[in-house]
Amino acid sequence: MTCQTVRTSPIEGQKPGTSGLRKRTAVFRQPGYLENFVQCIFDGTGGARGKTYVLGGDGRFFNREAIGTIIRMAAANGAARLIVGQNGILSTPAVSNLIRKRQTDGGIILSASHNPGGENGDFGVKFNTANGGPAPEKITDAIHARTRTIGEYRISDAAPGDISAPGRYRVEGMEVEVIDPVADYEALMRELFDFEAIAGLFGRGFRMVFDAMHAVTGPYARRILEQTLGARPGTVINAVPRPDFGGGHPDPNPVWASELVAIMEGPDAPDFGAASDGDGDRNMIMGRGAFVSPSDSLALLTAHAHLAPAYAGGLAGVARSMPTSEAVDIVARRLGIPCFETPTGWKFFGNLLDAGKATICGEESAGTGSSHIREKDGLWAVLLWLNILARDGRDIVQLRRDHWRNFGRNYYSRHDYEEIPSDAANALIADLRARLDSLAGSRVAGLTVSGADDFRYDDPVDGSVTEHQGIRIRFEGGARAVFRLSGTGTQGATLRVYLERFEGPGGDHGQQVQAALAPVIEAAGTIAGIAARTGRDAPDIIT
Ligand code: VG1
Ligand code: CO
């Protein structure tokens, strides 16, 4: 067995996006592609010598092979130890927890998250740092810079070993520790929540459905919800991770989680419905016949978090990504705690969480989490909801109605235009940017623009500045539209248009969301010239 140094040359396009490097699986399977990027992770972070990493993925096609390659590369690069999920499985939040608990130097997560998987789907690699969070831009920039100059990578020709059962073995001088992917995560959840109260809820006949979408949360949800908390068998559907996620997109929204939606809208709907995504960091929440938007869920969880033991002492602050609705801001104001607005992507919450400035964070894209780890956490959100429902007594639909009466309702929707030509998408944004100063005062679709800007984030902890994070258009009366391009897609460009309008506590909270937002939708379309520039007369996905 020898460690080999293989000559290679830079590969174009290895630039991490909103969350890691995502490409078509076929691209990742090209000889040297994964190897180059993994070597650049090591090189861009001061080398792997003597270090310990957590390694796992969401089980998608190529997961197992990639784990083998990374084990052999870490060994050849002199890493001291790898903590690997059994069968290569670890959810993103579980990795974040393990990095923190075992105080490792970081972790590598193999996932393209909500993107479809399989031979013709997507694959991805994310690097998390020692705080458990996604590498901040400073580090992803260093990794990317290295991909432009790399000349060789190191790999052992030893076998990567058997990861199908917990245990320890060596590859070259490196120790590989294979662990049960669920145990440490479950222990953490037990510390945070009132498991007894939740078990009591299920004991009283409360019914729920959790759709794991054939992705990584199946084993976690089965163990915690069914085995530990006593939810009835069959509560978790699509519970077995599959390399192609059963052919679907593991994206928990009303479009892709249509099986769950049908159950929750059916005649014998259970009390509560939830779903998670490919790598287990997103959550979708439903009541009987009702989809709870992620922005509303964030606001409600913030308002009631004190019912869970971990948050009984109150929250230091909250943070939301800029396009997320302002519903949580209103709750924060009432609670007298700060509310931070960050660019899209969990990596921007890391500093606020590390500094103790925020306790709960959330994104409109179904990501919610807290200071317990440094990633968004799908099952955590579900368990916090269950804890609240167990302690409050009202059902979720009632809780939400009361919340709107108390705080008002932020009607909210996101429209996605997928796989549009990159040139057209870039031109749309560039043109909007060029007109920002002249938009104020113009009247469109019965609304008057009160201001427009290009969101820039000044990190209050380390002073770093991140520019061009989305075009914001604000209308008189408080409505707003936000435009940005996705940083997770792998084909063409995806234009995301975020739409919001506030209806005060005494207002009409029973409208259809798209109807309530109609003037904002029309104004956004007209101002950006969406139809003319994209050639589309409707979005592909409405959430
Ligand atoms: C999307 C979401 C963003 C989320 C990111 C990663 O990014 O909008 O809120 O943090 O996905 O989520 P973008 O750049 O495509 O809008 V995950 O669960 O796919 O890692
Ligand atoms: Co995800």
Give pLDDT tens digits for 149-171: 999 999 999 999 999 999 999 99
Residue 276 Cβ < 6 Å to ligand 1 = no
What pLDDT score was predicted for residue 42?
A: 98
What mean pLDDT do residues 326-340 have?
98
pLDDT surpassing 80 at residue 126 = yes
One-letter amino acid for residue 163 of the chain: I
Of all protein residues, the one whose alpha carbon is nearest to atom 20 of ligand 1 is 113
Give pLDDT tens digits for 86-123: 999 999 999 999 999 999 999 999 999 999 999 999 99
Q: Which residue has the tokens 């604000």?
A: 474
User: Relative to the CA of 281, which ligand 1 atom is closest?
Assistant: 18
What strands, in cross-sheet order, belong to the sheet with 21-24? 21-24, 122-128, 106-110, 52-57, 81-89, 174-179, 167-171
Residue 96 Cβ < 6 Å to ligand 1 = no
Q: How far is CA 362 from the centre of its chain?
A: 9
Query: Out of 65-79, 245-259, 373-387, which region has the weakest mean confidence (pLDDT)?
Result: 245-259
Q: Outline where DSSP puts E strands in 29-90.
A: 52-57, 81-89
How high is the mean pLDDT of the chain?
96
Give pLDDT tens digits for 21-50: 999 999 999 999 999 999 999 999 999 999
Residue 377 Cβ < 6 Å to ligand 1 = no
What pLDDT score was predicted for residue 492?
A: 85
Instruction: Give the mutation target among 95, 293, 344 for probing the ligand 1 site: most ligand atoms within 8 A of CB.
Output: 344
Which residue among the candidates 111, 113, 325, 486 is catalytic per the annotation?
A: 113
Give dist(CA 441, CA 438) in Å, integer: 8
Global pTM reads: 0.94
What pLDDT score was predicted for residue 488?
A: 82
Which residues are placed with Cβ below 5 angstroms of ligand 2, an ion? 113, 277, 279, 281-282
Concerning whether 113 is annotated as a catalytic residue, the answer is yes
Q: Which residue has the tokens 């909210």?
A: 412
Give pLDDT tens digits for 499-531: 999 999 999 999 999 999 999 999 999 999 999
Residue 87 Cβ < 6 Å to ligand 1 = no
What mean pLDDT do residues 58-65 have?
96
Q: Which residue has the tokens 């870490």?
A: 74
Give pLDDT tens digits for 420-458: 999 999 999 999 999 999 999 999 999 999 999 999 999
Give dist(CA 244, CA 538) in Å, integer: 28
pLDDT surpassing 80 at residue 1 = no
pLDDT surpassing 80 at residue 222 = yes
